[in-house]
Amino acid sequence: MQAMVPSDVDLVVRRHPLQVQLTQQAGTSASASATNIAPDHPDQPANVPLEALLASYSTPYPFQSYVKRERRGDVEQVLQSKQLQEGIDFAFLNDEKLEKVFLVQVREASMLDGCALATICHPSEAYDDCVTKLKMDAASHCAKPPPFADRTIPELADNATPETVLETLLAHTSKGIVIGEVHHHINSKRLLIDNMERMARLGVETLFLEHLFFDVDKKDLDSYMQSPPGSAMPDALKSRLAGLDRQQLWATVADEALKARYCLSRVVEAAKLAGLQIVPIDCAASYNVYRSGLVASPRDEKIRYQVMNYLADKCITGRDLPGKWLAFVGSAHVNTCLEVPGLAELTGAISLIVSDAREASGHPPVRTRVKGYAGAIDPDVVLSIPLD
């Protein structure tokens, strides 16, 4: 059921482009599309073609609705009632433009004293089956990782510049680099944006990105990346990236100018200018493997690491890549974390974590063969860059 949203209500409804596409194709409601169009998910043989494998995990994505702070009291009243009746979870989310907003997660549209409440669609049985299948396949894959050979790490001075670190690592590897970040940090994105053309000259041809979905964003992403220089980004992709930028950067201490200049949207634009191919390594199902708001328990985090690392490994190793590649992901996906093999272990690539330097950390700018980073992982290289 979809809400009829009055024009004078402070409500922003973002419907996922895949649902719009499916609804238009089927000529039915989004709920019917979610129920009837999601594919079956048979067991996948080991030699299944990559695109067929990825398609088996593709599924319509739910709605996300953001309610402005002015309406939060009304919405809280509705949600508290629904939470008591149905056990629905909800969570707060900070947003730099909408200020404090409410991430609404309810089963069906509701109205209360003229306050429209849009929805996240109730997952269909096919959607649930898709997520369950993905979890099982990922757990099996990560329980039997390929034999892991220690990578040789080049020598790096502890005061090496970021450019020198990139050049040295790319010259040393015949494969690629897994770059990890804390998502609300700026300098990880800054390193990519400022050095995208340099990396292209050093043989990088492909950038694998977390957060973008191969079952939803790929069509718009490919269209944009293949369009002539100066072409506008498709509206759906622009909106998706802007939403990710708000979610990722609300906690950073950087000023607004830095956040606008060094964000995921600018990473995509820089990759296009440098002629790189961007490949999404997430999907709707992998991004929604648990329903616990913005904070997950350690068990849920482990599931997230398994499903994304599994899909990323398939996306990277399942392609005949002509040149070198970069994978840009959260730092917990880089190396083994919570006993889940990271992308460095799965692909044999070098791992590099890039962070905003803290004045009192006591660490040099460049560290190699690091043990216990963030108390959990052992990256090959950690690069800390001061935040201007």
- Encode pLDDT of 335-359 as tens digits: 999 999 999 999 999 999 999 987 6
15 lies in the same domain as 105: yes
Same domain, 313 and 164: yes
Helix (H) or strand (E) holding 25: helix 17-26
pLDDT tens for residues 24-41? Answer: 223 333 333 322 222 333
Which range marks the domain in which residue 20 is found? 11-37+64-120
C-alpha atoms less than 13 angstroms from C-alpha of 195 in its C-beta half-sphere: 20
Evaluate whether residue 47 is within a structural domain.
no
Place 248 in a pLDDT band, splitting at 50, 70 and 90.
Answer: confident
- Output the CA–CA distances (angstroms, integers) from residue 104 to 13, 48, 287, in the order listed: 10, 38, 17
Asked whether residue 98 is domain-assigned, the answer is yes
Residue 356 belongs to a domain? yes
pLDDT at residue number 6: 29
Same domain (yes/no): 255, 292:
yes
**Per-residue confidence (pLDDT) for residue 138, from 0 to 100:** 96
User: Are the beta carbons of 74 and 113 closer than 8 angstroms?
Assistant: yes
In a domain, 265, yes or no: yes
Residues 158 and 282 placed together within one structural domain of the fold: yes
Whether the Cβ atoms of residue 91 and residue 294 lie closer than 8 Å to each other: yes
* 49 lies in some domain: no
113 lies in the same domain as 146: no
Is residue 179 located within the same domain as residue 87? no
Q: How many domains does the chain have?
A: 2
Residue pair 58/215 in contact (Cβ under 8 Å)? The answer is: yes
Residue 122 pLDDT > 50, yes or no? no
Q: Do 146 and 116 have their domain in common?
A: no
Could you identify the residue written with the tokens 């992308």?
343
- State the residue for tokens 């803290």: 358
Q: Verify that 284 and 328 share a domain, yes or no.
A: yes
Q: What is the CATH number of the domain that holds 150?
A: 3.40.50.11550
Q: Are residues 170 and 92 in the same domain?
A: no
**282: CB partners within 8 A, 6+ apart:** 209, 210, 211, 212, 213, 214, 308, 311
Q: In whole angstroms, give the CA distance from residue 121 to residue 163.
A: 45
**Do 78 and 147 share a structural domain?**
no
Q: How buried is residue 185: exposed, middle or buried, by Cβ count under 10 Å (0-12/13-18/19+)?
A: buried
Please tell me whether residues 95 and 151 are part of one structural domain. Answer: no
Please give the pLDDT value at position 149.
67
Q: Please indicate, yes or no, if residue 42 is contained in any of the structural domains.
A: no
**Is 264 a member of any domain?**
yes
DSSP states of 280-294: EEE-HHHHTS--STT
pLDDT digits (tens, 9 = 90+) for 139-185: 999 998 877 767 789 999 999 999 999 999 999 998 999 999 999 89
Do you know the residue count of the chain? 388
Q: Is 165 inside any structural domain? A: yes
The reply to whether 91 and 187 lie within a common domain is: no
107-111, 122-126, 313-317, 371-375 — which is least confidently predicted? 107-111
What is the Cα–Cα distance from 287 to 153, expressed in whole angstroms?
A: 32
